[in-house]
A and B are shown apart, each in its own frame.
Chain A
Protein backbone atom coordinates (compact mmCIF):
# COMPACT_ATOMS: atom_id res chain seq x y z
CA UNK A 1 0.00 0.00 0.00
CA UNK A 2 2.84 2.32 0.81
CA UNK A 3 4.56 4.67 -1.56
CA UNK A 4 7.82 3.72 0.17
CA UNK A 5 9.58 0.41 -0.09
CA UNK A 6 9.74 -0.01 3.66
CA UNK A 7 11.38 -3.45 3.59
CA UNK A 8 14.31 -1.92 1.70
CA UNK A 9 14.45 1.06 4.07
CA UNK A 10 14.47 -1.26 7.09
CA UNK A 11 17.63 -2.87 5.70
CA UNK A 12 19.36 0.49 6.13
CA UNK A 13 18.75 0.58 9.90
CA UNK A 14 20.99 -1.88 11.77
CA UNK A 15 19.08 -1.53 15.05
CA UNK A 16 15.92 -2.89 13.45
CA UNK A 17 17.62 -6.30 13.23
CA UNK A 18 17.86 -6.36 17.01
CA UNK A 19 15.62 -8.56 19.09
CA UNK A 20 14.23 -7.78 22.55
CA UNK A 21 12.83 -10.65 24.61
CA UNK A 22 13.41 -12.87 21.58
CA UNK A 23 11.18 -10.75 19.38
CA UNK A 24 11.83 -8.36 16.51
CA UNK A 25 12.19 -4.79 17.73
CA UNK A 26 9.11 -2.68 16.92
CA UNK A 27 10.20 0.90 17.36
CA UNK A 28 7.24 3.26 17.72
CA UNK A 29 8.90 6.21 19.45
CA UNK A 30 10.38 8.24 16.61
CA UNK A 31 8.59 11.38 17.81
CA UNK A 32 10.98 11.19 20.75
CA UNK A 33 14.08 10.24 18.77
CA UNK A 34 14.50 8.48 15.45
CA UNK A 35 16.80 5.58 14.57
CA UNK A 36 19.96 6.01 12.51
CA UNK A 37 20.64 4.60 9.03
CA UNK A 38 23.96 3.06 8.00
CA UNK A 39 24.75 5.99 5.69
CA UNK A 40 24.73 8.38 8.68
CA UNK A 41 26.84 6.01 10.79
CA UNK A 42 29.24 5.61 7.84
CA UNK A 43 29.57 9.36 7.36
CA UNK A 44 30.42 9.80 11.03
CA UNK A 45 32.78 6.84 11.06
CA UNK A 46 34.47 8.05 7.91
CA UNK A 47 35.15 11.40 9.53
CA UNK A 48 36.66 9.83 12.65
CA UNK A 49 38.66 7.27 10.66
CA UNK A 50 39.88 9.37 7.77
CA UNK A 51 39.59 13.14 8.14
CA UNK A 52 38.94 14.08 11.74
CA UNK A 53 40.37 17.39 12.94
CA UNK A 54 38.92 20.51 14.51
CA UNK A 55 37.02 22.83 12.18
CA UNK A 56 37.88 26.37 11.08
CA UNK A 57 41.34 26.23 12.66
CA UNK A 58 43.97 24.14 10.91
CA UNK A 59 45.38 24.73 7.42
CA UNK A 60 46.47 21.13 7.03
CA UNK A 61 44.70 18.77 4.64
CA UNK A 62 42.47 16.84 7.02
CA UNK A 63 41.41 20.00 8.88
CA UNK A 64 40.29 21.44 5.56
CA UNK A 65 38.49 18.22 4.67
CA UNK A 66 36.59 18.14 7.95
CA UNK A 67 35.76 21.85 7.77
CA UNK A 68 34.50 21.36 4.23
CA UNK A 69 32.33 18.38 5.28
CA UNK A 70 31.02 20.35 8.29
CA UNK A 71 30.09 23.43 6.26
CA UNK A 72 28.78 21.17 3.48
CA UNK A 73 26.38 19.67 5.99
CA UNK A 74 25.25 23.17 7.00
CA UNK A 75 24.55 23.94 3.36
CA UNK A 76 22.58 20.70 2.91
CA UNK A 77 20.55 21.36 6.06
CA UNK A 78 19.86 24.97 5.06
CA UNK A 79 18.62 23.84 1.63
CA UNK A 80 16.50 21.13 3.25
CA UNK A 81 14.51 23.79 5.09
CA UNK A 82 14.49 26.22 2.16
CA UNK A 83 16.74 28.82 3.82
CA UNK A 84 18.15 31.46 1.52
CA UNK A 85 21.65 31.12 2.97
CA UNK A 86 23.58 28.61 5.12
CA UNK A 87 24.68 31.57 7.25
CA UNK A 88 21.13 31.59 8.65
CA UNK A 89 21.59 28.14 10.22
CA UNK A 90 23.20 28.21 13.68
CA UNK A 91 24.19 24.88 15.22
CA UNK A 92 23.24 24.32 18.86
CA UNK A 93 23.24 21.31 21.17
CA UNK A 94 19.56 20.70 20.48
CA UNK A 95 16.37 22.56 19.69
CA UNK A 96 15.93 23.39 23.37
CA UNK A 97 19.21 25.29 23.35
CA UNK A 98 18.11 27.05 20.18
CA UNK A 99 14.98 28.40 21.94
CA UNK A 100 17.11 29.48 24.88
CA UNK A 101 19.49 31.21 22.48
CA UNK A 102 16.65 33.30 21.06
CA UNK A 103 15.26 34.06 24.53
CA UNK A 104 18.62 35.10 25.93
CA UNK A 105 19.84 37.14 22.95
CA UNK A 106 16.92 38.51 20.95
CA UNK A 107 14.64 38.42 23.99
CA UNK A 108 16.91 40.23 26.39
CA UNK A 109 17.73 42.99 23.93
CA UNK A 110 14.26 43.52 22.51
CA UNK A 111 11.85 42.94 25.39
CA UNK A 112 11.13 45.18 28.33
CA UNK A 113 8.92 44.90 31.42
CA UNK A 114 5.25 44.55 30.54
CA UNK A 115 5.90 43.17 27.03
CA UNK A 116 3.89 40.12 26.05
CA UNK A 117 4.87 36.79 24.51
CA UNK A 118 2.14 34.56 23.11
CA UNK A 119 2.51 30.77 23.41
CA UNK A 120 0.08 27.90 22.94
CA UNK A 121 -1.25 25.35 25.39
CA UNK A 122 0.17 22.53 23.27
CA UNK A 123 3.83 23.52 23.61
CA UNK A 124 6.67 21.26 24.67
CA UNK A 125 8.45 22.40 27.85
CA UNK A 126 11.33 23.51 25.59
CA UNK A 127 9.11 26.25 24.18
CA UNK A 128 7.63 27.22 27.56
CA UNK A 129 10.30 27.24 30.25
CA UNK A 130 12.86 29.47 28.46
CA UNK A 131 10.11 32.09 28.12
CA UNK A 132 9.00 31.65 31.73
CA UNK A 133 12.59 32.19 32.81
CA UNK A 134 12.83 35.33 30.70
CA UNK A 135 9.41 36.51 31.87
CA UNK A 136 10.48 36.18 35.50
CA UNK A 137 13.66 38.11 34.82
CA UNK A 138 12.18 40.90 32.70
CA UNK A 139 8.65 40.97 34.13
CA UNK A 140 7.02 39.92 30.88
CA UNK A 141 3.45 38.78 30.32
CA UNK A 142 2.87 35.29 28.89
CA UNK A 143 -0.40 34.72 27.02
CA UNK A 144 -1.68 31.34 25.93
CA UNK A 145 -3.62 30.27 22.84
CA UNK A 146 -6.08 27.62 24.11
CA UNK A 147 -7.03 24.41 22.33
CA UNK A 148 -10.42 23.36 21.02
CA UNK A 149 -12.26 20.14 21.95
CA UNK A 150 -10.99 18.65 18.68
CA UNK A 151 -7.38 19.36 19.63
CA UNK A 152 -6.73 22.32 17.31
CA UNK A 153 -5.53 25.74 18.37
CA UNK A 154 -8.52 27.88 19.30
CA UNK A 155 -7.88 30.99 17.22
CA UNK A 156 -11.13 32.74 18.20
CA UNK A 157 -9.34 35.40 20.21
CA UNK A 158 -6.03 35.31 18.38
CA UNK A 159 -6.16 38.97 17.43
CA UNK A 160 -6.65 40.16 20.97
CA UNK A 161 -4.04 37.69 22.29
CA UNK A 162 -1.53 39.05 19.80
CA UNK A 163 -2.46 42.68 20.36
CA UNK A 164 0.67 44.50 21.50
CA UNK A 165 2.63 41.24 21.76
CA UNK A 166 6.28 41.11 20.72
CA UNK A 167 6.57 37.40 19.90
CA UNK A 168 4.41 34.43 18.99
CA UNK A 169 6.21 31.14 19.70
CA UNK A 170 4.41 27.96 18.65
CA UNK A 171 4.87 24.39 17.58
CA UNK A 172 4.26 23.48 13.94
CA UNK A 173 3.26 19.95 14.99
CA UNK A 174 2.34 18.87 18.52
CA UNK A 175 4.53 16.09 19.91
CA UNK A 176 1.58 14.87 22.00
CA UNK A 177 -1.53 15.45 19.91
CA UNK A 178 0.03 15.20 16.46
CA UNK A 179 -1.88 18.37 15.53
CA UNK A 180 -0.41 20.22 12.55
CA UNK A 181 -0.66 23.96 12.99
CA UNK A 182 -0.96 26.34 10.04
CA UNK A 183 2.48 27.96 10.15
CA UNK A 184 2.08 30.60 7.38
CA UNK A 185 -1.30 31.73 8.77
CA UNK A 186 -0.04 32.02 12.35
CA UNK A 187 3.11 33.81 11.22
CA UNK A 188 1.00 36.25 9.19
CA UNK A 189 -1.22 36.91 12.21
CA UNK A 190 1.85 37.59 14.35
CA UNK A 191 3.33 39.93 11.76
CA UNK A 192 0.02 41.78 11.38
CA UNK A 193 0.16 42.45 15.10
CA UNK A 194 3.74 43.65 14.85
CA UNK A 195 5.13 40.56 16.58
CA UNK A 196 7.86 38.19 15.43
CA UNK A 197 7.18 34.47 15.08
CA UNK A 198 9.25 31.55 16.37
CA UNK A 199 8.36 28.06 15.13
CA UNK A 200 9.24 24.94 17.11
CA UNK A 201 9.56 22.64 14.10
CA UNK A 202 11.11 19.60 15.82
CA UNK A 203 8.19 17.37 14.84
CA UNK A 204 7.47 18.78 11.40
CA UNK A 205 10.90 19.13 9.77
CA UNK A 206 11.42 15.32 9.81
CA UNK A 207 7.97 14.61 8.44
CA UNK A 208 6.67 17.45 6.26
CA UNK A 209 8.29 19.45 3.46
CA UNK A 210 9.57 22.66 5.10
CA UNK A 211 10.28 26.02 3.56
CA UNK A 212 11.19 28.84 5.90
CA UNK A 213 10.85 31.42 3.13
CA UNK A 214 7.26 30.58 2.26
CA UNK A 215 6.48 30.10 5.98
CA UNK A 216 7.82 33.65 6.35
CA UNK A 217 8.67 33.05 10.00
CA UNK A 218 11.48 34.77 11.87
CA UNK A 219 12.96 31.95 13.93
CA UNK A 220 12.69 28.18 13.57
CA UNK A 221 14.22 25.53 15.82
CA UNK A 222 14.69 21.84 14.99
CA UNK A 223 16.99 18.96 15.83
CA UNK A 224 18.97 16.21 14.11
CA UNK A 225 17.99 13.29 16.27
CA UNK A 226 14.35 13.28 15.21
CA UNK A 227 15.27 13.16 11.50
CA UNK A 228 17.64 10.16 11.31
CA UNK A 229 20.63 12.16 12.54
CA UNK A 230 22.64 11.73 15.73
CA UNK A 231 21.82 13.20 19.13
CA UNK A 232 23.81 16.17 20.41
CA UNK A 233 23.07 18.70 17.68
CA UNK A 234 20.16 20.93 16.79
CA UNK A 235 19.80 24.22 15.00
CA UNK A 236 18.30 27.65 15.02
CA UNK A 237 17.29 29.10 11.69
CA UNK A 238 16.69 32.85 11.75
CA UNK A 239 16.52 35.59 9.15
CA UNK A 240 20.01 36.96 8.58
CA UNK A 241 19.16 40.51 9.63
CA UNK A 242 17.86 39.26 12.97
CA UNK A 243 20.99 37.20 13.58
CA UNK A 244 23.14 40.19 12.62
CA UNK A 245 21.38 42.40 15.16
CA UNK A 246 21.35 39.87 18.01
CA UNK A 247 24.17 39.90 20.56
CA UNK A 248 26.19 36.69 20.92
CA UNK A 249 24.92 33.88 23.17
CA UNK A 250 27.86 32.01 24.69
CA UNK A 251 31.34 33.52 24.68
CA UNK A 252 34.53 31.70 23.74
CA UNK A 253 36.47 30.50 20.74
CA UNK A 254 35.03 30.54 17.22
CA UNK A 255 32.46 33.24 17.96
CA UNK A 256 35.05 36.05 17.96
CA UNK A 257 36.64 38.15 15.25
CA UNK A 258 39.24 39.62 17.60
CA UNK A 259 40.00 39.49 21.30
CA UNK A 260 42.16 41.92 23.24
CA UNK A 261 42.68 42.34 26.94
CA UNK A 262 40.09 45.11 26.74
CA UNK A 263 37.36 43.20 24.95
CA UNK A 264 36.25 41.35 21.84
CA UNK A 265 34.46 41.73 18.55
CA UNK A 266 32.18 39.05 17.20
CA UNK A 267 32.59 36.74 14.23
CA UNK A 268 30.23 36.76 11.26
CA UNK A 269 26.96 34.86 11.40
CA UNK A 270 26.39 31.98 11.97
CA UNK A 271 29.71 31.41 13.78
CA UNK A 272 29.00 34.38 16.06
CA UNK A 273 26.62 32.02 17.91
CA UNK A 274 28.82 28.92 17.85
CA UNK A 275 31.27 29.35 20.71
CA UNK A 276 33.65 26.47 21.27
CA UNK A 277 34.31 23.34 19.26
CA UNK A 278 30.96 22.29 17.82
CA UNK A 279 29.51 18.78 17.46
CA UNK A 280 31.64 18.33 14.34
CA UNK A 281 31.00 14.68 13.59
CA UNK A 282 27.33 14.91 14.55
CA UNK A 283 26.79 17.81 12.16
CA UNK A 284 28.41 15.76 9.38
CA UNK A 285 26.10 12.87 10.31
CA UNK A 286 23.13 15.23 10.18
CA UNK A 287 24.13 16.22 6.67
CA UNK A 288 24.09 12.54 5.66
CA UNK A 289 20.65 12.16 7.28
CA UNK A 290 19.34 15.04 5.17
CA UNK A 291 20.79 13.39 2.04
CA UNK A 292 19.01 10.16 2.97
CA UNK A 293 15.67 11.90 3.50
CA UNK A 294 16.01 13.88 0.28
CA UNK A 295 16.57 10.71 -1.72
CA UNK A 296 13.24 9.42 -0.41
CA UNK A 297 11.56 12.81 -0.71
CA UNK A 298 9.62 14.50 2.05
CA UNK A 299 6.37 14.27 0.10
CA UNK A 300 6.74 10.48 0.06
CA UNK A 301 7.65 10.47 3.77
CA UNK A 302 4.52 12.43 4.57
CA UNK A 303 2.35 10.20 2.40
CA UNK A 304 3.70 7.05 4.03
CA UNK A 305 3.12 8.41 7.52
CA UNK A 306 -0.38 9.56 6.70
CA UNK A 307 -1.20 6.04 5.45
CA UNK A 308 0.27 4.41 8.55
CA UNK A 309 -1.47 6.85 10.88
CA UNK A 310 -4.83 6.26 9.21
CA UNK A 311 -4.27 2.50 9.44
CA UNK A 312 -3.36 2.76 13.14
CA UNK A 313 -6.30 5.00 14.04
CA UNK A 314 -8.66 2.55 12.31
CA UNK A 315 -7.03 -0.52 13.87
CA UNK A 316 -7.18 0.93 17.40
CA UNK A 317 -10.79 2.05 17.01
CA UNK A 318 -11.87 -1.29 15.47
CA UNK A 319 -10.23 -3.42 18.12
CA UNK A 320 -10.81 -1.39 21.26
CA UNK A 321 -13.71 0.97 20.51
CA UNK A 322 -14.56 3.24 23.40
CA UNK A 323 -12.06 1.57 25.72
CA UNK A 324 -9.32 3.54 24.04
CA UNK A 325 -9.38 7.35 23.96
CA UNK A 326 -7.21 9.14 21.44
CA UNK A 327 -6.01 12.63 22.34
CA UNK A 328 -5.53 14.32 18.99
CA UNK A 329 -7.29 15.08 15.71
CA UNK A 330 -8.72 12.11 13.82
CA UNK A 331 -8.50 13.89 10.46
CA UNK A 332 -5.26 12.75 8.83
CA UNK A 333 -4.90 16.04 6.94
CA UNK A 334 -4.50 17.85 10.27
CA UNK A 335 -2.18 15.54 12.11
CA UNK A 336 1.21 13.88 12.11
CA UNK A 337 1.88 10.34 13.23
CA UNK A 338 2.06 10.81 17.01
CA UNK A 339 -0.95 9.02 18.52
CA UNK A 340 -1.45 9.63 22.25
CA UNK A 341 -4.02 7.52 23.98
CA UNK A 342 -5.53 6.38 27.24
CA UNK A 343 -6.56 2.75 27.43
CA UNK A 344 -9.36 2.37 29.97
CA UNK A 345 -7.77 3.03 33.34
CA UNK A 346 -4.52 1.19 32.70
CA UNK A 347 -1.68 3.59 33.46
CA UNK A 348 0.59 4.45 30.54
CA UNK A 349 3.62 3.02 32.33
CA UNK A 350 1.93 -0.29 32.82
CA UNK A 351 0.96 -0.43 29.15
CA UNK A 352 4.47 0.48 28.10
CA UNK A 353 5.88 -2.21 30.38
CA UNK A 354 3.60 -4.94 29.07
CA UNK A 355 4.07 -4.10 25.38
CA UNK A 356 7.85 -4.00 25.94
CA UNK A 357 7.54 -7.73 26.59
CA UNK A 358 6.55 -7.92 22.91
CA UNK A 359 9.56 -5.74 21.96
CA UNK A 360 7.23 -2.81 21.22
CA UNK A 361 8.73 0.59 22.13
CA UNK A 362 6.12 3.23 22.95
CA UNK A 363 6.46 6.35 25.05
CA UNK A 364 4.62 6.68 28.34
CA UNK A 365 4.24 9.80 30.44
CA UNK A 366 3.63 13.49 30.03
CA UNK A 367 5.83 13.89 26.92
CA UNK A 368 7.45 17.07 28.29
CA UNK A 369 4.13 18.87 27.92
CA UNK A 370 2.70 18.99 31.44
CA UNK A 371 0.62 22.15 30.89
CA UNK A 372 -1.09 20.39 27.97
CA UNK A 373 -1.66 17.25 30.04
CA UNK A 374 -3.37 19.43 32.67
CA UNK A 375 -5.58 20.98 30.00
CA UNK A 376 -6.47 17.48 28.76
CA UNK A 377 -7.08 16.41 32.36
CA UNK A 378 -4.89 13.32 32.14
CA UNK A 379 -1.77 12.53 34.18
CA UNK A 380 -0.03 10.57 31.45
CA UNK A 381 -0.70 9.02 28.05
CA UNK A 382 0.83 6.27 25.98
CA UNK A 383 2.16 7.52 22.65
CA UNK A 384 2.98 5.61 19.49
CA UNK A 385 4.61 7.41 16.57
CA UNK A 386 5.76 6.20 13.17
CA UNK A 387 8.51 6.94 10.72
CA UNK A 388 9.79 5.74 7.35
CA UNK A 389 10.96 2.36 8.71
CA UNK A 390 7.59 1.41 10.21
CA UNK A 391 4.94 -0.61 8.41
CA UNK A 392 1.44 -1.88 9.07
CA UNK A 393 2.91 -5.08 10.53
CA UNK A 394 4.34 -2.95 13.37
CA UNK A 395 0.89 -1.54 14.07
CA UNK A 396 -0.65 -5.02 14.09
CA UNK A 397 1.95 -6.07 16.67
CA UNK A 398 1.13 -2.98 18.76
CA UNK A 399 -2.57 -3.84 18.70
CA UNK A 400 -1.86 -7.46 19.70
CA UNK A 401 0.42 -6.26 22.49
CA UNK A 402 -2.35 -3.96 23.75
CA UNK A 403 -4.70 -6.94 23.79
CA UNK A 404 -2.22 -8.66 26.10
CA UNK A 405 -2.11 -5.58 28.34
CA UNK A 406 -5.89 -5.56 28.43
CA UNK A 407 -5.98 -9.21 29.51
CA UNK A 408 -3.18 -8.71 32.00
CA UNK A 409 -4.85 -5.88 33.85
CA UNK A 410 -8.30 -7.39 33.47
CA UNK A 411 -10.05 -4.37 31.99
Chain B
Protein backbone atom coordinates (compact mmCIF):
# COMPACT_ATOMS: atom_id res chain seq x y z
CA UNK B 1 0.00 0.00 0.00
CA UNK B 2 3.03 2.30 -0.18
CA UNK B 3 1.68 4.16 -3.23
CA UNK B 4 -1.67 4.72 -1.56
CA UNK B 5 -0.11 5.89 1.64
CA UNK B 6 1.87 8.44 -0.33
CA UNK B 7 -1.38 9.72 -1.78
CA UNK B 8 -3.50 9.54 1.34
CA UNK B 9 -1.13 10.93 3.99
CA UNK B 10 -2.57 11.02 7.48
CA UNK B 11 -2.72 14.82 7.45
CA UNK B 12 -4.76 14.72 4.22
CA UNK B 13 -7.20 12.22 5.68
CA UNK B 14 -7.42 14.40 8.79
CA UNK B 15 -8.39 17.48 6.74
CA UNK B 16 -10.84 15.32 4.75
CA UNK B 17 -12.54 13.96 7.84
CA UNK B 18 -12.54 17.28 9.67
CA UNK B 19 -12.37 20.05 7.08
CA UNK B 20 -11.34 23.45 8.43
CA UNK B 21 -13.14 26.73 7.74
CA UNK B 22 -16.31 25.05 6.48
CA UNK B 23 -19.31 27.34 6.14
CA UNK B 24 -20.57 30.36 4.33
CA UNK B 25 -20.18 34.13 4.68
CA UNK B 26 -22.79 36.74 3.81
CA UNK B 27 -22.54 37.82 0.20
CA UNK B 28 -21.91 40.74 0.00
CA UNK B 29 -19.73 41.88 1.66
CA UNK B 30 -17.98 38.53 1.08
CA UNK B 31 -17.22 37.38 -2.45
CA UNK B 32 -18.43 33.94 -3.55
CA UNK B 33 -16.62 31.91 -6.19
CA UNK B 34 -17.25 28.36 -7.43
CA UNK B 35 -15.05 25.83 -9.12
CA UNK B 36 -16.00 22.54 -10.77
CA UNK B 37 -14.15 19.54 -12.03
CA UNK B 38 -16.49 18.37 -14.79
CA UNK B 39 -14.66 15.07 -15.09
CA UNK B 40 -15.55 13.79 -11.64
CA UNK B 41 -18.07 16.25 -10.26
CA UNK B 42 -15.84 17.75 -7.57
CA UNK B 43 -17.22 21.11 -6.50
CA UNK B 44 -15.56 23.84 -4.45
CA UNK B 45 -17.27 26.99 -3.23
CA UNK B 46 -15.18 29.68 -1.57
CA UNK B 47 -16.39 32.71 0.39
CA UNK B 48 -13.71 35.37 0.55
CA UNK B 49 -13.69 38.39 2.82
CA UNK B 50 -11.05 40.68 1.41
CA UNK B 51 -10.24 44.05 2.87
CA UNK B 52 -7.16 46.24 2.93
CA UNK B 53 -5.44 43.88 0.52
CA UNK B 54 -5.77 40.87 2.81
CA UNK B 55 -7.93 37.75 3.02
CA UNK B 56 -9.44 38.57 6.39
CA UNK B 57 -11.74 35.55 6.29
CA UNK B 58 -12.31 32.53 4.08
CA UNK B 59 -14.87 29.76 4.34
CA UNK B 60 -15.49 26.79 2.07
CA UNK B 61 -18.39 24.66 0.88
CA UNK B 62 -18.91 22.04 -1.83
CA UNK B 63 -18.29 18.34 -2.09
CA UNK B 64 -15.94 15.89 -3.72
CA UNK B 65 -13.26 13.31 -3.18
CA UNK B 66 -10.86 13.28 -0.23
CA UNK B 67 -8.06 14.92 -2.21
CA UNK B 68 -10.16 17.83 -3.44
CA UNK B 69 -11.78 18.44 -0.06
CA UNK B 70 -8.56 18.08 1.94
CA UNK B 71 -6.75 20.40 -0.46
CA UNK B 72 -9.56 22.95 -0.07
CA UNK B 73 -9.33 22.75 3.70
CA UNK B 74 -5.53 23.04 3.75
CA UNK B 75 -5.61 25.92 1.28
CA UNK B 76 -8.10 27.83 3.41
CA UNK B 77 -5.82 27.47 6.43
CA UNK B 78 -2.78 28.53 4.44
CA UNK B 79 -4.24 31.81 3.14
CA UNK B 80 -6.57 32.87 5.93
CA UNK B 81 -5.35 36.17 7.37
CA UNK B 82 -2.63 36.52 4.75
CA UNK B 83 -2.27 39.47 2.38
CA UNK B 84 -3.45 38.93 -1.17
CA UNK B 85 0.12 39.32 -2.35
CA UNK B 86 1.38 36.69 0.07
CA UNK B 87 -1.51 34.40 -0.85
CA UNK B 88 -0.57 34.60 -4.49
CA UNK B 89 2.96 33.57 -3.58
CA UNK B 90 1.62 30.56 -1.70
CA UNK B 91 -0.56 29.67 -4.69
CA UNK B 92 2.47 29.89 -6.99
CA UNK B 93 4.52 27.70 -4.68
CA UNK B 94 1.74 25.14 -4.36
CA UNK B 95 1.12 25.01 -8.08
CA UNK B 96 4.85 24.58 -8.65
CA UNK B 97 4.60 21.56 -6.36
CA UNK B 98 1.95 20.18 -8.73
CA UNK B 99 2.87 21.86 -11.99
CA UNK B 100 5.28 19.33 -13.41
CA UNK B 101 2.31 17.18 -14.19
CA UNK B 102 -0.38 19.77 -14.52
CA UNK B 103 0.94 21.50 -17.63
CA UNK B 104 -0.84 19.05 -19.94
CA UNK B 105 -4.04 18.87 -17.92
CA UNK B 106 -5.57 22.19 -18.97
CA UNK B 107 -4.90 23.91 -15.67
CA UNK B 108 -6.82 27.17 -15.32
CA UNK B 109 -3.86 29.54 -15.45
CA UNK B 110 -4.44 33.14 -14.57
CA UNK B 111 -2.00 35.92 -15.34
CA UNK B 112 -1.26 37.66 -12.05
CA UNK B 113 -0.52 34.41 -10.26
CA UNK B 114 1.99 33.41 -12.89
CA UNK B 115 5.56 34.33 -12.29
CA UNK B 116 8.71 33.00 -10.74
CA UNK B 117 8.27 30.33 -8.12
CA UNK B 118 8.95 32.01 -4.81
CA UNK B 119 11.69 30.35 -2.81
CA UNK B 120 10.77 32.03 0.45
CA UNK B 121 7.40 30.31 0.89
CA UNK B 122 7.16 27.51 3.41
CA UNK B 123 4.34 25.19 2.39
CA UNK B 124 4.47 23.13 5.58
CA UNK B 125 1.55 20.69 5.75
CA UNK B 126 0.68 21.39 2.13
CA UNK B 127 3.71 19.39 1.08
CA UNK B 128 1.77 16.31 2.10
CA UNK B 129 -0.19 16.79 -1.12
CA UNK B 130 2.96 16.20 -3.16
CA UNK B 131 2.15 12.47 -3.23
CA UNK B 132 -0.68 13.34 -5.60
CA UNK B 133 1.73 13.92 -8.49
CA UNK B 134 2.28 10.16 -8.67
CA UNK B 135 -1.41 9.84 -9.59
CA UNK B 136 -1.80 12.20 -12.54
CA UNK B 137 -5.58 11.95 -12.81
CA UNK B 138 -5.90 13.21 -9.24
CA UNK B 139 -3.83 16.39 -9.73
CA UNK B 140 -6.95 18.19 -10.94
CA UNK B 141 -8.61 17.24 -7.65
CA UNK B 142 -5.75 18.80 -5.66
CA UNK B 143 -5.54 22.01 -7.69
CA UNK B 144 -9.28 22.72 -7.97
CA UNK B 145 -9.52 24.83 -4.80
CA UNK B 146 -6.38 26.74 -5.73
CA UNK B 147 -7.57 27.58 -9.23
CA UNK B 148 -10.87 28.65 -7.71
CA UNK B 149 -9.02 30.92 -5.26
CA UNK B 150 -7.07 32.49 -8.14
CA UNK B 151 -10.36 33.21 -9.86
CA UNK B 152 -11.77 34.73 -6.68
CA UNK B 153 -8.73 36.94 -6.10
CA UNK B 154 -8.76 38.10 -9.70
CA UNK B 155 -12.45 38.94 -9.52
CA UNK B 156 -12.08 40.94 -6.31
CA UNK B 157 -8.78 42.66 -6.85
CA UNK B 158 -9.06 43.23 -10.57
CA UNK B 159 -5.87 41.30 -11.03
CA UNK B 160 -3.80 43.80 -9.10
Contact = CB atoms under 8 A, between A and B. Distances in A.
A349 B65 contact: yes
10 contacts: A347-B64, A349-B138, A350-B8, A353-B7, A353-B138, A357-B4, A366-B40, A366-B41, A379-B43, A379-B63
A347 B13 CA distance: 12
A379 B13 contact: no
Contacts of A21: 3
A410 B17 contact: yes
Range, interface on chain B = 10 to 19
A103 to B, nearest CB: 23
Interface of B: 1, 3-4, 7-8, 13, 17, 39-41, 43, 63-67, 135, 138, 141
Contacts of B63: 379
A347 B3 contact: no
Given A349-B65, A353-B4, A365-B39, 16 more contacts: A346-B66, A347-B64, A347-B66, A349-B138, A353-B138, A357-B1, A357-B4, A365-B40, A365-B41, A373-B41, A379-B43, A380-B41, A408-B4, A409-B13, A409-B66, A410-B17
Please indicate which of the listed interface residues B17, B41, B67 has the most CB atoms of chain A within 10 Å of its own CB.
B41
A364 interface: yes
A406 to B, nearest CB: 13
Contact of B41 (A350, A353, A354, A379): A379
Contacts, number: 44
Range, interface on chain A = 10 to 19
A346 B138 CA distance: 16
B118 to A, nearest CB: 31
A270 B141 CA distance: 45
B37 to A, nearest CB: 10
Contacts of A353: 4, 7, 135, 138
B65 A350 contact: yes
Interface string A361-391: 0001110001001000001100000000000
Contacts of B40: 348-349, 364-366, 380
Interface string A5-17: 0000000000000
Interface in A155-186: none
Contacts of B17: 410
